[in-house]
Amino acid sequence: MGRSKQASYRQAGVNTAGQASALTDLIALLRETFAFRKRIGRVMLPFGYFANVIALEENLGLAISTDGVGTKILVAQMVGKFDTIGIDCIAMNANDLLCVGAEPLALVDYVAVQLPNRRVLREMGRGLREGARRARITIPGGEIAQLREMIRGVHKDDGFDLVGTCVGIVRLDRIIIGQRIKPGDVVLGLRSSGIHSNGLTLARDVLFRRQKLRPDRYIPELGRTVGAELLEPTRIYVPEILHMLRAGLDLRALIHLTGDGLLNLSRVAARVGFILDSWPEPHPIFGLIQATGRINPTEMFRVYNMGIGFCLVLPDDSRQIDQAMAIAKKHGVECYRLGYTNRDAEKKIVLKPYDLVGKGGRFFSGSGLSVQGSGKRVRKRSR
């Protein structure tokens, strides 16, 4: 395969910095609604975390989150396979609810279509049902809207979008947002299933537009076609995380690595940094995207999960760490000890194996790794 010019998320069409700036006024206006409910329905957390919680009773809260599948839908249209994106929709929402310590209960879906297509909707429904089974939630309702003038797809009249809103319950005195993290706590990482549902715009730009690959192109290092790899459903972490919570483990932070990749660690409430001195080998799809697009490691770790889809922070207690790993293994998920937290008002994320430092919404290269103009895959620092 040939090489193209160096790619980035912004060049592919996603301006995350511009999005944050554009949202400033909207968020300020919506924040004013917090004053509309003082008791039942009062908002317990600020904007910006993975999910929010509203009070129902003295010590019971309703956790709520909303998210969609994004441009992974366009890959589904290219392949003509729609029975997995429903799993992604469930995963992106239910995993976010876990991050406040909540148990997901139910999700309602919103589907916007150019034209209703029975086969597409049936396959989408199968995915939603399977995702609900894995997350142990119900889907009690939803909405479909025909928006022919607004929605566009890969082929004529096949455009649609899928979004979900998930709710769960959490005791108000058990809300987890990383507020109890202490320096020296241990960071564990749960393996992702692959690319999940983030960075697909960049992946499509690199693999389909620049490299001219067809979705049915078999890639030996992937062991399947590139389309099948990109459609691998987002892993749902509900069973193992709920098991850990019910086992009484002192989970001090639960972090879903979605958009912004490893930078999601800095969302925690405590003023701590993260020193990660170990990282498992990323899935081959990440190496393919990086090498093909000549993408900097700093961009790869900002956009993608790079092999770890969910992180846990626990005290440095061998019994609890061993128990968390055993629970993950019981549920068929690989769990890795990644590093520890440290006292750091700047909340930096130091990824030692790759000489990367995350701060202020960006990753920077350290002295041991040159990234300017690099076309090589993310690699660990030689020792």
Cα separation, 23 vs 334, in Å, equals 37
C-beta separation of 249 from 308 below 8 A: no
> Both 214 and 304 in a single domain?
yes
Other CB atoms within a 10 A radius of the CB of residue 113 amount to: 21
**CATH code assigned at 212:** 3.90.650.10
> Both 190 and 167 in a single domain?
no
> Both 122 and 213 in a single domain?
no
Residue 369 pLDDT > 50: no
C-beta separation of 249 from 185 below 8 A: no
Q: Is the residue at 2 inside a domain?
A: no
Among 133-137, 203-207, 247-251, 258-262, which stretch is predicted with the lowest mean pLDDT?
258-262
* pLDDT tens column, 59-103: 999 999 999 999 999 999 999 999 999 999 999 999 999 999 999
Q: What interhelical angle do 118-135 and 238-246 show, nearest 10? A: 20
> Both 193 and 332 in a single domain?
yes
Other CB atoms within a 10 A radius of the CB of residue 124 amount to: 24
Q: Is the residue at 380 inside a domain?
A: no
* pLDDT tens column, 218-254: 999 999 999 999 999 999 999 999 999 999 999 999 9
Residues sharing a CB contact under 8 Å with residue 123, sequence separation 6 or more, in sequence order? 81, 82, 83
Question: How many domains would you assign to the chain?
Answer: 2
**CATH code assigned at 49:** 3.30.1330.10
Cα separation, 51 vs 13, in Å, equals 26
Cα separation, 365 vs 295, in Å, equals 13
Cα separation, 344 vs 273, in Å, equals 5
Name the band, by pLDDT with cuts 50, 70 and 90, for residue 378: low
Q: What six digits make up the tokens of 153?
A: 């797809």
Cα separation, 355 vs 376, in Å, equals 15
Q: For 32-84, where are the alpha helices, taking DSSP H only? A: 72-79
> Both 137 and 190 in a single domain?
no
* pLDDT tens column, 291-349: 999 999 999 999 999 999 999 999 999 999 999 999 999 999 999 999 999 999 999 99
> Both 260 and 205 in a single domain?
yes
Q: What six digits make up the tokens of 229?
A: 């790899």
* pLDDT tens column, 96-112: 999 999 999 999 999 99
Sheet holding 138-146, edge to edge: 52-57, 60-68, 160-170, 103-113, 138-146
Name the band, by pLDDT with cuts 50, 70 and 90, for residue 16: low
User: In this predicted structure, what is the pLDDT of residue 379?
Assistant: 58
> Both 134 and 259 in a single domain?
no
Residues sharing a CB contact under 8 Å with residue 343, sequence separation 6 or more, in sequence order? 183, 271, 272, 273
Q: Is the residue at 22 inside a domain?
A: no
Cα separation, 61 vs 357, in Å, equals 36
> Both 201 and 320 in a single domain?
yes
> Both 170 and 220 in a single domain?
no
The domain in which residue 280 lies consists of 186-365
> Both 130 and 234 in a single domain?
no
> Both 217 and 359 in a single domain?
yes
- State the DSSP H helix or E strand holding residue 160, giving kind and residue range, or none if neither: strand 160-170
* pLDDT tens column, 154-184: 988 889 999 999 999 999 999 999 999 999 9
> Both 243 and 135 in a single domain?
no
In one-letter notation, the amino acid at residue 50 is F
